[in-house]
């Protein structure tokens, strides 16, 4: 006869080194196995929508920076595209090219942190240091362009805040040449490391239908085997001019859709981002980067929804304009928030130690979850 | 170094004031609570990573407040989080130090006006030793903040209350 036992509640966070910020998890345990996970959010709710109501259109841009602070460039990108669509203005070619290059550099920088902290949580400290070394090189490119390291406020409605530095093209090419071999180095160091594979293969398997039902997007969805990328599906800016592939998880070391697949998709994506930058960097046309910036941004009445492929998934901006200088409402569809919902499903039946491996592979940013 | 080794080889005596010795030991091993809040936490991570190397000042992240000497409040403190930070602070054994990193922790930062859920400065909840301005502060600024904290520790006395 089986002994009747009770489950135990274990609290994890908000102060925990592996919860990627201030997430609190309520784990229901049966022995060391997870029965249920309840994420508690709201520890970093910074009132984005309230600010968007109170600020004029350009003043909202710095607040979009601070939502997903690992991919600030891309948050600006999505917002300015939405406002430009509302205004019905066309930005110069040069601006489009620079935006794409900055966006893809940002994607690499964001994935470097995601991969680094994923390894760090599991116990691999060295790759974290290697990846931050490479990330500093991207940050110095950004710093040279707009003066900021983390929160840029670089893309403005109708243009950019600064033109690129004369050395930018040369240094970016140098970075590409430098960075390609370090991906191989990373693969040798972490990706195909026996311990890392043991910790992540067959852990937190996300079946494709579950992923679609929960609305998961980004590398987490592509890890489950579906080649869905907004850059291809619903192309924006000038992404249709570049030749790149969408990497998907194939279950190389375990099942399709496990933590290792989600991790490996990010590595392959960095290579594709390098390809896009390589193609774009030689084609930047001459021109002015502030040509289309309107003096007063006052869009007509109406609504607009745009979506872009943030490093974490589908980032959507829904803007309602009532014809004033301030937006009536800005609603953000944050990929981290949606991806977090499937987390409880992934953890069921795994050990406590696997929770952080799975959380690292989903790669959430709490600033974006809570907004 | 060989000379120095010989100096100490046959049981020498070094004379120092108790205050100086204690302060020297304390300021060289400020163990921080490994705890990130918002955007500034990424810059704090960058500071402890390879390029800026926080370790060389003896700053090592500890994951429990009971082993920590300092907290770096790295980012926006919301009302929901403020109570937790207060509790973490109370769990740290004396002497304990707080570095408030970034505009949000100093005074609410960009959320000072409409941020209905943002605490306007962590000093409303716990006492702060060093304020580091910036949004986010550069890693160099955080290093300077640490040097200022070390300066403060160096001038402390055991007879005075440390907190």
Rounded alpha-carbon distances, angstroms, from residue B6 to A62, A109, A265: 60, 50, 58
Kindly state the percentage of chain A with pLDDT values over 90: 50
Min Cα separation B5/chain A (Å) = 33
- Mean pLDDT, chain A, as a whole number? 90
Residue A311 lies in domain: 47-339+350-370
The per-residue pLDDT for range A59-89, each reduced to its tens digit, is 999 999 998 899 999 999 999 999 999 988 8
- Residue B129's pLDDT is 92
The per-residue pLDDT for range A159-194, each reduced to its tens digit, is 898 889 999 999 999 999 999 999 999 999 999 999
Strands B32-33 and B61-62 come out as parallel
Give the Cα separation of A150 and A62 in Å (integer). Answer: 11
- Residue A116 forms part of a structural domain: yes
The per-residue pLDDT for range A112-127, each reduced to its tens digit, is 999 999 998 888 889 9
- pTM for the model stands at 0.91
CB contact under 8 A, A47 and B117: yes
Range A319-335 average pLDDT: 91
- Residue A323 forms part of a structural domain: yes
- Residue A121 forms part of a structural domain: yes
- Residue A13's pLDDT is 76
The per-residue pLDDT for range A251-286, each reduced to its tens digit, is 888 888 899 999 999 999 999 999 999 999 988 998
Question: Which residue from B110, B36, B92 is spatially nearest to A43, judged by alpha carbons?
Answer: B36
The neighbouring-strand residues paired with B100 are: B73, B131
For B65, which residue in chain A has the nearest alpha carbon?
Answer: A15
- Residue A254's pLDDT is 85
User: Using CA of residue B87, residue B92, residue B96, residue B99, what is the dihedral sign?
Assistant: negative
* A112 chain-B contacts, CB cut-off 8 A: none
- Residue A113 forms part of a structural domain: yes
- Residue A139 forms part of a structural domain: yes
Of A47, A128, A139, the CB nearest to B118: A47
- Residue A228 forms part of a structural domain: yes
- Residue A236 forms part of a structural domain: yes
The number of folded domains in chain A is: 1
- Residue A42 forms part of a structural domain: no
- Residue B61's pLDDT is 87
Indicate the pLDDT class of residue A211, thresholds 50, 70 and 90. very high
Rounded alpha-carbon distances, angstroms, from residue B58 to A27, A268, A324, A332, B54: 35, 37, 54, 41, 7
Of A46, A47, A150, the CB nearest to B43: A150
Range B62-90 average pLDDT: 90
- Residue A237's pLDDT is 87
HEC readout, A127-176: HHHHHHHHHHHHHHHHHHHHCCCCCCCCEECCEECCCCCCCHHHHHHHHH
* B41 chain-A contacts, CB cut-off 8 A: 21
Kindly state the percentage of chain A with pLDDT values over 70: 100
Range A224-231 average pLDDT: 90
* B111 chain-A contacts, CB cut-off 8 A: 46-47, 51
Give the Cα separation of A315 and A365 in Å (integer). Answer: 13
Range A212-231 average pLDDT: 91
Is the Cβ–Cβ distance between B148 and B130 less than 8 Å? yes
Strands A159-160 and A155-156 come out as antiparallel
Of B37, B65, B111, the CB nearest to A22: B37
Is the Cβ–Cβ distance between B97 and B153 less than 8 Å? yes
Q: In CATH, what number is assigned to the domain containing residue A105?
A: 1.10.645.10
Rounded alpha-carbon distances, angstroms, from residue A134 to A30, A137, A144, A176, B53: 42, 5, 16, 11, 15
- Residue B37's pLDDT is 87
Helix ranges (DSSP H) in B8-138 = 18-27, 39-48, 79-91, 102-107
pLDDT of residue A1 exceeding 70:
no
CB contact under 8 A, B37 and A70: no
- Residue A100's pLDDT is 92
Enter the tokens of residue A317. 């901006």
B134 touches chain A (CB under 8 A): no
Question: How many C-beta atoms lie closer than 10 Å to residue A334's C-beta?
Answer: 26
CB contact under 8 A, A22 and B88: no
- Tell me how far apart the terminal alpha carbons of chain A are, to the nearest angstrom: 50
**Which residue of B35, B39, B85 to mutate against A (max A Cβ within 10 Å)?**
B39
Give the Cα separation of A80 and A62 in Å (integer). Answer: 11
Range A296-313 average pLDDT: 90
Write the ipTM: 0.86
């Amino acid at each position: 006869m089986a002994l009747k036992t009770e489950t135990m509640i274990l609290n994890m966070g908000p102060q925990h080194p592996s919860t990627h910020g201030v997430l609190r998890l309520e784990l229901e345990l049966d022995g060391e196995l997870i029965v249920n996970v309840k994420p508690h959010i709201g520890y970093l709710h910074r009132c984005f929508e309230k600010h968007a109501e109170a600020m004029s259109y350009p003043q909202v841009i710095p607040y979009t920076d601070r939502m997903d602070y690992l991919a600030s460039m891309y948050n600006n990108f999505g917002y300015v595209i939405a406002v430009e669509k509302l205004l019905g203005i066309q930005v110069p070619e040069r601006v489009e090219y620079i935006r794409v290059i900055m966006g893809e550099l940002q994607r690499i920088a964001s994935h470097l942190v995601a991969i680094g902290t994923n390894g760090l949580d599991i116990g691999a400290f060295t790759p974290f240091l290697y990846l931050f070394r490479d990330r500093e090189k991207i940050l110095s490119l950004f710093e040279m362009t707009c003066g900021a390291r983390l929160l840029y406020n670089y893309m403005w409605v109708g243009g950019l805040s600064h033109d690129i530095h004369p050395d930018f093209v040369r240094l970016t090419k140098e970075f590409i040449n430098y960075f390609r071999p370090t991906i191989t180095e990373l693969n040798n160091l972490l990706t195909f490391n026996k311990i890392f594979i043991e910790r992540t293969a067959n852990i937190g398997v996300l079946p494709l239908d579950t992923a679609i039902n929960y609305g998961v997007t980004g590398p987490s969805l592509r890890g489950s085997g579906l080649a869905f990328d907004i850059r291809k599906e619903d192309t924006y800016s000038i992404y249709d001019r570049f030749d790149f592939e969408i990497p998907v998880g194939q279950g190389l070391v375990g099942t399709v859709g496990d933590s290792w697949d989600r991790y490996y998709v990010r590595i392959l994506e960095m290579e594709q981002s390098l390809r896009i930058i390589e193609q774009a960097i030689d084609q930047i046309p001459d021109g002015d980067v502030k040509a289309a910036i309107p003096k007063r941004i006052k869009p007509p009445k109406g609504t607009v929804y745009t979506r872009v492929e943030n490093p974490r998934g589908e980032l959507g901006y829904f803007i309602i304009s009532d014809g004033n200088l301030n937006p009536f409402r800005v609603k953000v569809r944050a990929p981290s928030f949606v991806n977090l919902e499937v987390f409880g499903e992934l953890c069921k039946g795994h050990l406590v130690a696997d929770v952080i491996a799975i959380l690292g592979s989903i790669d959430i940013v709490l600033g974006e979850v809570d907004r | 170094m060989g000379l120095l080794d010989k100096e100490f080889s046959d049981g020498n005596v070094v004379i120092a004031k108790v205050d100086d010795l204690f302060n020297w030991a304390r300021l060289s091993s400020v163990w921080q609570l490994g705890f990130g809040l918002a955007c500034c936490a990424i810059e704090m991570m960058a500071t402890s990573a390879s390029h800026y190397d926080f370790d060389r000042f003896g700053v090592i992240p500890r994951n429990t407040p009971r082993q920590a000497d300092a907290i770096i409040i790295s980012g926006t403190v919301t009302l929901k989080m403020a109570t937790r930070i207060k509790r973490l602070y109370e769990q740290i054994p004396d002497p304990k130090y707080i570095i408030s990193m970034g505009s949000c922790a100093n005074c609410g930062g960009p959320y000072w006006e409409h941020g209905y859920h943002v605490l306007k400065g962590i000093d409303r909840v716990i006492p702060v030793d060093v304020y580091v301005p910036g949004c986010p502060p550069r890693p160099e600024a955080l290093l300077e903040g640490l040097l200022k904290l070390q300066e403060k520790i160096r001038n402390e006395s055991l007879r005075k209350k440390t907190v």
